[in-house]
Structure 1
Amino acid sequence: MKTLLVIPARYASIRYPGKALAPLKGATGVVKPLIQRSWEAAQAVAGIDRVVVATDDSRISEVAEAFGAEVVMTSASCANGTERCAEAFDKLGNGYDVVVNLQGDAPLTPPWFIEDLVAGLKIHPTAEVATPVLRCTGQALADFIEDRRAGRVGGTTVVFGAEGKALYFSKEVIPHVEGVGIDRNSPSPVFHHVGVYAYRPSALAAYPHWTVGPLERLEGLEQLRFLERERPVQCVEVDARGRQFWELNNPEDVARIEAMLSDMEIE
């Protein structure tokens, strides 16, 4: 199956303007912009036929082309990464069986997350979209809770049914676990939604034409548009294999991600 990987990136992030170009220092002190680190993460994924950066901003385009990325210019009217992927897919002339959305703020995404994700979509014929989910350690859950208490959105959590179909995604910590007494070094009952998607082309093409529903509007989560249309989203559980994972959501996350890059000896 021919697979296209799109990295949507915009400059006007609400929580962190200019985030795509935020400098991140690696283990050896080398500084690279966030978009480059996300592009390098994409290059490590097996089975991908083409990788493009999709943006509406000339600053991001110039930086991306300078480090060797292929860039597709998209309109400023794209409301989220899925809409930007849909426009890029359309501009590239279709011709792909699977389209992967690796959001530009996830440079620590291990390649096997995406490889397992694409495999998961292939083996679930009724799913129109698939997305990785990672069981939180007690420490990761504590970080989520700390962020919420500080008024920050530290990531997204998800609950799903017995066969892996998503029931709901939220920027709150779900399910409710207060008072459960979870050990920081043990697995928790909470799943971190990893912000990567694999779409079937028909679902991706339809997405921009659907009206934004109340849940998507309230949560600010693009994937809820599928659920509000009762389109199945397959959750594919992935294994971190001891590797640290976090997304750059807020300026405070820069130090956290740089520490992880150092710990993992990523230049």
Structure 2
Amino acid sequence: MDCAWYCGWSAIAAAFGARAYLGRFRKFRSRVVGIIPARFASSRFQGKPLVQILGKPMIQRTWERAKLATTLDDIVVATDDEKIAECCRGFGADVIMTSESCRNGTERCNEALGKLEKKYDVVVNIQGDEPLIEPEIIDGIVKALQVSPDAVFSTAVTSLKPEDALDPNRVKCVVDNRGYAIIFQGDSFLLISEFTDIEKSGKVNPQFPYLLHLGIQSYDANFLKIYPELQPTPLQLEEDLEQLKVLENGYKMKVIKVDHEAHGVDTPEDVEKIETLMRVRNLS
């Protein structure tokens, strides 16, 4: 395919974008699939999905929690690694093999969606590195998207502890008064310098409603199909956050706030913390 033609058409499609999309696909989204994207290669934690947490692979822990959600019609694991696939089939999960070229979980979910035999209205991207994810949060973001026909994306946030404000692994989110995302911030100090006194006093501003973005998110299935065609955007490239490409292209993202202590596994050191917490909560 001629690159100039394709890029030009993609730009026109993005410009035409959100309004035309919503006018065409505005309907109740009833059929829901949960997809757990998992890759073996990771710069910070090689083979993370297979790490043992109290005797079970982390990907299994996540799958078992997702199975408790009431809004999911089906759950599949999407991976590019045969070791992960074999492990998941061993504990009973359905697996879709995807390519190594997927740049993020959203693209992996999109590829997996295209290979599923059934048709779905909503796709839930369930991060495999938070094995204590609450099934109620999965249900919450699905229902939020279902009752917000002007949104193509939904996600969850919780309170951000001030001491975590400068942690680059903690993605921050700002939400408007109607519950729609305004912006996300990752490694840069774009929001931090704007809404805190860190540069002046070294302290965060207690009046600013810090929100921590939780990795789980859901998409309108038709929107997910066109997401890879949207051109990269300036803030997305600056922050390396795929959510920003959605917002910068004019689409709406519904956000729910939940009371949840995030326990993601970003590094090998996090495994011991998770296991300690599970013992305290008597979770096996």
**TM > 0.5 fold call:** yes
Deviation of the 1:79 alpha carbon: 0.6
Distance 1:234 1:181, change over 3 A: closer
Instruction: Determine which of 54, 59, 64 is the counterpart of 1:35.
Output: 59
Q: Contact 2:162 / 2:204 at 8 angstroms: preserved in 1?
A: no
Matched, 1:159 2:174: yes
Q: Contact 1:141 / 1:188 at 8 angstroms: preserved in 2?
A: no
Q: How many residues are paired up? A: 246
Instruction: Determine which of 269, 272, 276 is the counterpart of 1:252.
Output: 269
Distance 1:165 1:214, change over 3 A: same
Amino acid across the alignment from 2:64: E
Instruction: Determine which of 94, 105, 108 is the counterpart of 1:70.
Output: 94
Deviation of the 1:256 alpha carbon: 2.1
What secondary structure sits across from 1:8 in the alignment? strand
Distance in 1, Cα, partners of 2:80 & 2:51: 17
Deviates most, 215-224 or 80-89: 215-224
Instruction: Determine which of 247, 251, 262 is the counterpart of 1:227.
Output: 247
1:205 aligns with 225
Distance 1:218 1:16, change over 3 A: farther
Distance in 2, Cα, partners of 1:113 & 1:188: 24
Q: Contact 1:103 / 1:195 at 8 angstroms: preserved in 2?
A: yes
Query: What TM-score, normalized by structure 1, do the two folds share?
Result: 0.85
Q: Contact 1:165 / 1:233 at 8 angstroms: preserved in 2?
A: yes
Matched, 1:14 2:14: no
Q: Contact 1:15 / 1:249 at 8 angstroms: preserved in 2?
A: yes
Query: What TM-score, normalized by structure 2, do the two folds share?
Result: 0.81
Distance 1:6 1:231, change over 3 A: same
Distance 1:120 1:48, change over 3 A: same
Deviation of the 1:93 alpha carbon: 3.7
Matched, 1:92 2:116: yes
Instruction: Determine which of 149, 152, 156 is the counterpart of 1:128.
Output: 152
Identity %: 38
Distance in 2, Cα, partners of 1:50 & 1:82: 18
Amino acid across the alignment from 1:197: Q
Deviation of the 1:211 alpha carbon: 2.2
Distance in 2, Cα, partners of 1:166 & 1:50: 28
Amino acid across the alignment from 1:263: V
Q: Contact 1:155 / 1:247 at 8 angstroms: preserved in 2?
A: no
Distance in 1, Cα, partners of 2:237 & 2:276: 33
What secondary structure sits across from 1:194 in the alignment? strand
More helix per residue: 2
Deviation of the 1:221 alpha carbon: 1.5
Distance in 2, Cα, partners of 1:14 & 1:215: 23
Deviation of the 1:261 alpha carbon: 1.6
Distance 1:259 1:188, change over 3 A: farther
Unaligned runs of 5+ in 1: 26-30
Q: Contact 2:34 / 2:74 at 8 angstroms: preserved in 1?
A: yes
Deviation of the 1:101 alpha carbon: 0.6
Amino acid across the alignment from 2:221: P
Deviation of the 1:60 alpha carbon: 0.7
Deviation of the 1:239 alpha carbon: 2.8
Deviation of the 1:216 alpha carbon: 2.1
Unaligned runs of 5+ in 2: 1-29
- From the CA coordinates, give the structure whose radius of gyration is larger: 2
Q: Contact 2:61 / 2:131 at 8 angstroms: preserved in 1?
A: yes
Deviation of the 1:188 alpha carbon: 7.8
Distance 1:119 1:89, change over 3 A: same
2:104 aligns with 80
Deviation of the 1:92 alpha carbon: 0.5
Q: Contact 2:71 / 2:142 at 8 angstroms: preserved in 1?
A: no
Q: 1:178-193 residue pairs with structure 2 within 5 A?
A: 178=198, 179-180=203-204, 189-193=209-213
Distance 1:72 1:162, change over 3 A: same
Distance in 2, Cα, partners of 1:141 & 1:21: 32
Q: Contact 1:155 / 1:249 at 8 angstroms: preserved in 2?
A: no
Distance in 2, Cα, partners of 1:216 & 1:34: 29
